[in-house]
Chain A
Amino acid sequence: MKKNYTLSTNIYRLLIYIVLAVILVITIVPVWLMIANATRSTIEIQQGISMLPSKYLISNYKILLSKGLDLPRGFFNSFIISSLTTIVAVYFSMLTAYGIVVYDFKGKKVLYNFILVLVMIPMQLSIIGFYQYMVKIGLDDSYAALILPSIASAGSVFFAKQYLESIMLHELIDAGRIDGASELGIFHRIMFPIAVPGAFTLGIFAFVAAWNNFFNAFILITSRDKYTLPMLVQTLRGDVYRHEYGAIYLGLAASVVPIIIIYFLFSRYIVNGISLGAVKE
């Protein structure tokens, strides 16, 4: 009986590993094909599928640039926007969450519940009103319109609050006060250094979200020299690149590979961070 039981469990386990392997292939193949094709010439790509990289990376890059796609510029633009958005989102989310965790002020519970509700509201649907408002105050076609809204990112505050609660040491705050530090000084010099791992996780998510954001930039940015990477990716669909498959794959891979690198460097923070923002309450 005992033996039978383990045998069926083992068959079941084998089956599970097969399913997992199949899903793994489905997850990786499209991405791998994109990266491999970025290094293959258009002729090679037309001749057949191959998972092996070839040696046309540089020539694909030259084709891409010769067709007027300013990839380095798009990279630079996306990097600036994403970095600034990250700094703004992390700082202000931590500040807000710290205020909610440390102080007992009137209306705190209401504010916190309101932030929870905000997570569930499709704010992107107010983009038209946002756009027209930015035109009125002269901020359309500017990066400020993309960066400043992250001062109030409900999801980040929620995450930051969960994190700060788990590491909060009220004794340290009291010690800081006895030493005569200001309230903001305590946040900057005592709590923030302790909260760096959480801020880092929060920062990765903010960076990736900003890096990948297409819709808002697509509505707000009109000057070509201000285009972000996702917007350049969108132009790859145009007629200019009709038969330049190698160059197209390179353009796509270039916008995705930095994130893949960040992911493999910091996957521990990222995978653990996902659940921290959601599980409690």
Chain B
Amino acid sequence: MASKVRKNYYGYFFVAPFIIGFLIFGLYPVYNTIALSFTDTTLMKAHGSFIGLRNFERLFADSTFLTAIKNTWALWLMNFIPQIGIALLLSVWFTSTRLKIKGGGFWRMFFYLPNLMMPSAIAALFFSLFSFYGPVNQFLVRADLLPQAIDFIRSPSVMRGLVVFIQWWMWFGQTTILLMAGMTSISVAVYEAATIDGASMWQMFKYITLPLIKPVMIYVLVTSLVGGMQMFDIPFLLTDGRGSPANSILTNNILMYMKFRSSQGHIGAASSVGVVVFIMTTFVALLIFYLLREKPVEKYKEIKQ
């Protein structure tokens, strides 16, 4: 023990690379992005001049930006709600000692598989599957479900639905595994006691399971939100990289990229997109985290009910 106390300052050496790496590759880029957002820098001229808030004024006056923000929120919410819903259902089924569902590991293994696949390849795959001459049209026409092929790629609602579906498809397995881990850490004795008290399955879910997996739920919610606000690969590669058709799948990051790769390379303007979304996301994420944070007394009350 004595040796440990003497050596404690070594901790600084161990964490120093992380801190230095963070300052260089994490913090400075954030600072630089904020600094750039107040300038009219382009890729053509290295030193732009300070223009105050003009990038932000232009951004909020631009209906495309507001569309991108709205789209990103809508696409995220529409995939997150069914994702958490299905994941809750599946994890209750898999962990129920009464139902004894067989092959839990087998199902989980396959349900998680899409999460590991390259999103850009998945987007290109679904583009091929839903193209005019693609397998989906082939199947629907031959099965007489459609009189003729539909140009899915040009339909805003189909494309939006497809982005939502792909996001759901890629993430429901991961969410299920996380919720299951939360549920299996709940002591069986709690459920046994509830059963003796005559609680129904639904009551047990509502009053035992849900309150006790709250930390996991918050983790899933926040990480999904942060990822969702930065959605890029799927909507970018599903159509033409501009959020077509009719800006229906234009997200924050696609807009940022379009400004970055515009003919002039307006990196000042592109940075302002990043800054606004950064502030919005971080604010909402931290808000969720603090609002839903575990309050010990309340938790006790909920279980007691």
Contacts and interface: CB of A to CB of B under 8 A. Distances in A.
A1 interface: no
A154 to B, nearest CB: 8
A119 B226 CA distance: 9
B117 A212 contact: yes
A95 B230 contact: no
B7 interface: yes
Contacts of A183: 7, 10, 13-14
B280 to A, nearest CB: 9
Interface in A44-71: 45-46, 48-49
A142 to B, nearest CB: 13
Interface in B30-46: 30-36, 41
Given A23-B111, A132-B32, A148 B285 contact: no
B146 interface: no
Contacts of A211: 118
Given A27-B113, A111-B15, A256-B117, A49 B281 contact: no
B232 interface: yes
Interface in B206-226: 215-216, 219-220, 222-223, 226
A84 to B, nearest CB: 14
A240 interface: no
Summarize B's interface: helix, strand, loop or mixed. helix
Nearest to A33: B135
A129 B120 contact: no
A105 B12 contact: yes
Question: How large, as a class, is the contact surface on chain A?
Answer: 35 or more
A169 interface: no
Question: How large, as a class, is the contact surface on chain B?
Answer: 35 or more
Contact of A279 (B12, B109, B181, B232): B181
Contacts of A46: 133
A59 to B, nearest CB: 18
Contacts of A127: 29, 33, 256, 274
Nearest to A94: B14
Contacts of A189: none
Interface in B221-243: 222-223, 226, 229-230, 232-233, 237
A174 B226 contact: no
Interface in A3-32: 9, 12-13, 16-17, 20, 23-24, 26-28, 30-31
A219 B261 CA distance: 9
A127 B15 CA distance: 25
Contact of B178 (A93, A187, A278): A278
B118 A256 contact: yes
Contacts of A173: 4
Interface of A: 9, 12-13, 16-17, 20, 23-24, 26-28, 30-31, 33-34, 37, 45-46, 48-49, 92-93, 95-96, 98-100, 102-105, 108, 111, 117-133, 148-149, 151-152, 157, 170, 173-174, 177, 183-184, 187, 208, 211-212, 214-215, 218-219, 229-230, 233-234, 236-237, 245, 248-249, 252, 255-256, 259-260, 263, 267, 270-271, 274-275, 278-279, 281
A-B pairs with the 6 shortest C-beta distances? Answer: A99-B14, A129-B33, A103-B11, A275-B181, A151-B21, A129-B32
16 contacts: A27-B169, A104-B11, A105-B12, A108-B11, A118-B22, A122-B226, A123-B26, A125-B274, A125-B281, A128-B33, A129-B35, A129-B36, A151-B21, A183-B7, A214-B233, A230-B118
Given A49-B139, A125-B274, 15 more contacts: A20-B90, A31-B117, A100-B14, A120-B223, A122-B226, A128-B270, A129-B32, A129-B274, A130-B33, A148-B24, A183-B14, A214-B120, A215-B233, A230-B233, A249-B125
